[in-house]
């Protein structure tokens, strides 16, 4: 017997300096008298960023307790399938938050509660919402990193309303001491554990009684269908693609120079403008009258001088002749000397703050100059009107503040240097983004092809909507197909441009949608699975084509009655017949059993 618990959320204040405080789940496991043989192991999606911690222990003597503690809500963004799997297998769900972190609570309420609700549609597990901490009422925080007033705590009514929305049990734990952990939280948790065990025992007993009803010859046992091939997702390399763009300097359209013009550092306006309002002002994307913060305009004027025209001493590589590069003179010599490190920081996603600090300290070897440069970087990246200079920053906070996106420039003519012509319509785009994210387009725009020096590029073989979805993925690293057919069209486009991760995402979407179809809907749908199979094979989607063959074999009784079944090749038909479910052997045994029951003239309660 076992009980599975899944916990989401971080009970620590995001601005608290006490990072050694034990978590709610670990505190309960360590203090409860019912828990024994505790074991923990760390599971991570990549080194340095743990997604969840798994604990295993024994409860009530011999009941196995498995706990997955997910402190970071990002799992719902980065790995939706894993988060759904965790919730689907949970017997109890715990949602935690700090009453002193209003920003995180608001993000939970606005962004992640709808996702949790969607996942709970297929799960009947009870939910416990734990509001942790004593509310602080003091002088408002002057830390420039705060995006909201720290006096604004999460109220009890807000927590109760959240619990009502999720149909959950609401608890307030003012501190993680023995009373709140063992008596209060532990009492509720152990009640639900007992309920879960009782329900499982009841279901097991019903199944056993059902099996004992037929005392005569037992019907043949129907084996489970063969397991489907598991399709693994591919990790994102979005930030790495943009960082490689800086290293190779393809399609660079801006060159930074010191005042003595001794050297040049090349970059891309589209990347710089996507992370900073200052660069938007500098390159004319926004006018000074649009700025909400005069300090941003003053910093841009004091730090940079833009001189459009022929670059010197040489032109940045990869820029079409019709798009002249922009020459920017950096007035601050100390800042200019650190510019390569600052650009590496920006192109890597603008969240490795500690590394940037170390690189600048090592280069300048002067605390005052280091602080001077870092303050300018923070001012460049800050949101106008919301932040002042920042001290003692942490990477996760910087990432939250500077989480701007290339989505702002998707399908807009702003800074666009290439226009795709497709189905009589035009779609503006940016060569730098395309070259960074797609190797086929990198070869097309930088090789000996007509497109390398053309602004207008025709596109054939895909629809406008599909191509827009493809470009959206290149810009944002995400895609949301509206249907299986749209996902297949996007898969074909991804295969045409050799964007393998997008192809895998489309494969996963198609598989997930087909798996969720009830048998009745599968039998009545006009969607041709055989047609999907043939397209997957033609476009080298081996994983999807193999899975679809297994899917047809597993649902043999449904697909064998459809006209499209005759379109399978001889090889495909042989595979389906070999792996069909239920098997021919089972059907023969079932027919023999029915004949026996009929000959004995007795009624079988199972049949």
Q: Domain coordinates of the chain in residue numbers? A: 2-40+48-136+152-205, 245-310+324-384, 513-606
Q: Which of 59-63, 100-104, 574-578 has the lowest mean pLDDT?
A: 59-63
Per-residue pLDDT of 487-519, as tens digits, reads 999 999 999 999 999 999 999 999 999 999 999
- What is the structure's pLDDT at 441? 93
In total, the chain counts a number of residues equal to 607
User: What are residue 208's phi and psi, to 5 degrees?
Assistant: -65, -40
Name the average pLDDT for the chain.
81
pTM of the model: 0.59
Angle at Cα 328 formed by Cα 413 and Cα 431, nearest 5°?
35
What is the CATH code for 245-310+324-384?
A: 3.30.710
Q: Which of 5-9, 267-271, 361-365 has the lowest mean pLDDT?
A: 5-9
Helix H or strand E segment including 214? none
184 by DSSP, 3-state: which?
Answer: helix
Per-residue pLDDT of 286-309, as tens digits, reads 888 777 778 888 889 899 998 865
DSSP 458-526: E--SS-HHHHHHHHHHHHHS----SSHHHHHHHHHHHHHTT-HHHHHHHHHHHHHHHHTS-HHHHHH--
258 by DSSP, 3-state: which?
Answer: coil
Tell me the C-alpha distance between 150 and 136, whole Å. 8
327 contacts 267 by C-beta, under 8 angstroms: no
**Number of other residues whose CB lies within 10 A of the CB of residue 312:** 12
- What is the structure's pLDDT at 214? 47
Band (390; pLDDT cuts 50, 70, 90): very low
- Looking at the chain, the number of H-run helices and the number of E-run strands are 28, 14
514 contacts 449 by C-beta, under 8 angstroms: no
pLDDT above 90: percentage of residues in the chain: 34
Per-residue pLDDT of 311-352, as tens digits, reads 444 444 444 544 567 899 999 999 999 999 999 988 887 667
Tell me the C-alpha distance between 553 and 578, whole Å. 8
250 contacts 317 by C-beta, under 8 angstroms: yes
- What is the structure's pLDDT at 506? 94
Tell me the C-alpha distance between 530 and 566, whole Å. 9
Does the pLDDT of residue 579 top 50, yes or no?
A: yes
Per-residue pLDDT of 433-490, as tens digits, reads 999 999 999 999 887 788 888 899 999 999 999 999 999 999 999 888 999 999 999 9
What fold, for 2-40+48-136+152-205? Rossmann fold (3.40.50)
Tell me the C-alpha distance between 252 and 419, whole Å. 18
332 contacts 303 by C-beta, under 8 angstroms: yes
User: What are residue 5's phi and psi, to 5 degrees?
Assistant: -120, 135
Residue in the block written with tokens 């495909």: 572
Residue in the block written with tokens 């719902």: 76
Mean pLDDT value across residues 77-85: 75
Tell me the C-alpha distance between 400 and 567, whole Å. 52
Q: In what side-by-side order are the strands of the sheet with 92-98?
A: 35-46, 49-59, 63-70, 2-8, 92-98, 127-132, 169-173
Tell me the C-alpha distance between 271 and 409, whole Å. 10
Strand-pairing partners, residue 304, are 330
User: What are residue 49's phi and psi, to 5 degrees?
Assistant: -135, 80
User: What are residue 574's phi and psi, to 5 degrees?
Assistant: -65, -40
DSSP 102-170: HHHHHHIIIIIHHHHHHHHTT----EEEEEESPPP-SSPP--TT-SS-TT-PPPHHHHHHHHHHHT-EE
Does the pLDDT of residue 21 top 50, yes or no?
A: yes
411 contacts 331 by C-beta, under 8 angstroms: no
Token couple for 224: 């489970």
């Amino acid at each position: 017997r076992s009980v599975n618990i899944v916990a989401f959320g971080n009970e620590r204040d995001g601005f608290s300096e006490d990072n050694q405080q034990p978590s709610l789940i670990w505190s309960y496991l360590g203090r409860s008298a019912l828990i024994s043989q505790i074991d923990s192991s760390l599971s991570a999606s990549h080194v340095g960023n743990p997604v969840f911690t798994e604990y295993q222990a024994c409860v009530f003597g011999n009941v196995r307790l498995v706990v997955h503690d997910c402190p970071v809500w990002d799992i719902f963004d980065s790995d939706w399938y894993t988060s759904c799997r965790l919730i689907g297998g949970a017997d109890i769900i715990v949602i935690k938050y700090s009453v002193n972190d209003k920003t995180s609570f608001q993000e939970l309420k606005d962004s992640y509660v709808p996702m949790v609700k969607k996942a709970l549609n297929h799960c009947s597990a009870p939910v416990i919402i734990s509001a942790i901490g004593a509310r602080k009422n003091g002088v408002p925080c002057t830390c420039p990193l705060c995006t909201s007033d720290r006096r604004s705590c999460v109220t009890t009514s807000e927590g109760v309303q959240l619990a009502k929305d999720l149909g959950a049990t609401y608890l307030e734990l003012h501190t993680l001491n023995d009373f709140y952990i063992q008596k209060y939280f532990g009492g509720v948790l152990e009640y639900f554990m007992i309920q879960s065990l009782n329900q499982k025992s009841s279901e097991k007993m019903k199944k056993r009684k059902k099996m004992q009803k037929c005392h005569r010859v037992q019907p043949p046992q129907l084996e489970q269908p063969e397991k489907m091939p598991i399709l693994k997702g591919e990790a994102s390399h979005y930030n790495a693609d943009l960082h490689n763009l800086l290293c190779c300097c393809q399609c660079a359209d801006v060159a930074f120079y010191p005042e003595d013009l001794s050297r040049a550092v090349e970059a891309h306006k589209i990347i710089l403008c996507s992370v900073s309002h200052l660069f938007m002002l500098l390159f004319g994307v926004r006018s000074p009258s649009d700025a909400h913060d005069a300090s941003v305009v003053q910093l841009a004027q004091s730090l940079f001088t833009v001189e459009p025209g022929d670059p010197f001493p040489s032109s940045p590589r990869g820029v079409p002749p019709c798009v002249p590069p922009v020459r920017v003179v950096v007035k601050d010599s100390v800042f200019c000397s650190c510019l390569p490190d600052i650009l590496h920081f920006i192109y890597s996603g603008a969240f490795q703050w500690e590394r940037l600090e170390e690189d600048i300290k090592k280069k300048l070897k002067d605390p005052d100059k280091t602080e001077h440069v870092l303050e300018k970087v923070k001012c460049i990246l800050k949101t106008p009107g919301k932040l002042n200079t920042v001290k003692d920053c942490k990477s996760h906070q910087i990432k939250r503040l500077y989480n701007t996106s290339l989505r702002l420039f998707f399908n807009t003519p702003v800074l666009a240097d290439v226009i795709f012509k497709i189905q009589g319509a035009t779609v503006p785009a940016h060569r730098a983004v395309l070259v960074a994210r797609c190797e086929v387009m990198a070869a097309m725009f930088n090789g000996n092809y007509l497109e390398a020096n053309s602004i207008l590029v025709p596109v054939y073989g895909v629809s406008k909507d599909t191509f827009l979805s493809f470009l959206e993925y290149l810009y944002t690293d995400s895609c949301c197909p509206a249907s299986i057919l749209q996902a297949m069209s996007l898969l074909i486009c991804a295969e045409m441009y050799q964007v393998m991760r997008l192809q895998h995402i489309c494969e996963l979407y198609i598989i997930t949608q087909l798996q969720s179809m009830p048998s009745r809907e599968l039998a009545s749908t006009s969607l041709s699975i055989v047609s999907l199979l043939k397209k997957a094979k033609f476009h080298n989607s081996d994983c999807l084509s193999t899975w679809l063959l297994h899917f047809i074999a597993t649902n043999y009784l449904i697909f064998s009655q459809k006209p499209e079944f005759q379109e399978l090749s001889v090889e495909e038909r042989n595979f389906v017949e070999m792996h069909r479910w239920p098997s021919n052997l089972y059907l023969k045994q079932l027919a023999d059993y029915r004949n026996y029951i009929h000959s004995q003239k007795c009624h079988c309660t199972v049949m």
